[in-house]
Amino acid sequence: MGSELALYPRLAWSRVRGQVEYRLSFVLMLVGYFAATVADFLAIWVIFLHLPLLAGWTLGEVAFLYGTSYVSFKLADMVVGHLDVLPTLVRSGSLDTLLTRPLGSLFQVITIDFGLRHVGAIAQAVCVLAVACVTAGVPWDAARVAMMPVTILSGTVIFASIWVLGASTVFWTMGNGLEVMNTFTYGGNQMANFPINIYAGWLRRLIAYVVPLAFVTYFPSLYLLAKEDPLGSPGILRFASPLVALGCVAAARFAWGQGIRHYQSTGS
């Protein structure tokens, strides 16, 4: 574990070097990912042209939710988003090669790539978040300043764990239907971009609590923005994100471990 952490930056750097080799393509990719996220934010902005408050939230506040969620989501995407190649590795048998090496299997799959291209999206989300930090009326104090990085980090870990959990199903399904995972990763981010009190109860329970996306941004943001919860949840939940993140890591580790144990090579 320790040696893997030391090895990670070196492997990630080698992947990055390969990507920036095609300089024009890489710059275009950054611009493209930036533009894609701008489009998502424009949608929020367009909605607020027609009303002052969306279910009790101002544009600044929704921008704050959007920024925290998007930064977390894209950081996770950068590190583990390429887990969707796993079905290909399993079907082609390349996973077997990884299993014979003296490093963790999950570590090796994750280090196949490092999605530096997502920096384009992260940059856009950071800009929105920075503006939102000013316009959303956050009553800044030492506790809130400390809470910001904790929120982003917890959110990143929750998203990354969902990715690993989803990818672990590949060992049972051979990758059939892995697209369902998008509902919880991309869909989770889409959901967390807005205050969850706008969603119907069934949807909220499915994506906000079963998959604990409400802890990515909604609950910590209630604290950061000093807002009453329209849903009336207990105040303690606002500080529960790091614990939830740890729980997600445990669940993801367990699922991956079970998956590898269950895995039988395609044998071709």
- Tell me if residue 104 falls in helix, strand or coil: coil
**Residue 59 φ then ψ, to 5°:** -60, -45
Q: How far is the CB of 186 from other proteins (least distance, A)?
A: 8
CB of 87 to other proteins, least distance (A): 10
Torsion from C-alpha of 93, 256, 114, 76, nearest 10 degrees: 150
Closest to other proteins by CB, 59 vs 147, is 59
**Residues 241, 219: contact at Cβ < 8 Å?**
yes
Give the CA angle between residues 137, 138, 144 to the nearest 5°.
Answer: 175
Q: Which is nearer to other proteins, 30 or 127 (CB)?
A: 30
Nearest approach in angstroms of CB 103 to other proteins is 29
User: Is the separation of the CB atoms in 156 and 125 below 8 Å?
Assistant: no
Contact 90, 242 (CB under 8 A): no
CA distance 240 to 159: 16
Instruction: Report which of 208, 111, 216 is spatially closest to residue 155, judged by C-alpha positions.
Output: 216
For other proteins, the closer CB: 32 or 257: 32
List interacting residues with other proteins (CB under 8 A): 22, 24-33, 35-36, 38-40, 42-43, 46-47, 49-55, 117, 173, 176-180, 182-183, 186-187, 190-191, 194, 198-200, 203, 207
Residue 3 or 25 having the CB closest to other proteins: 25
Q: Containing H/E element for 99?
A: helix 94-100
Cβ proximity to other proteins: between 194 and 219 the closer is 194
Instruction: Report whether 81 contacts 156 (CB < 8 A).
Output: no
Closest CB 55 distance from other proteins, rounded Å: 5
Least Å distance between CB 29 and other proteins? 4
Min dist CB 31 to other proteins, Å, is 6
Q: Which is nearer to other proteins, 119 or 147 (CB)?
A: 119
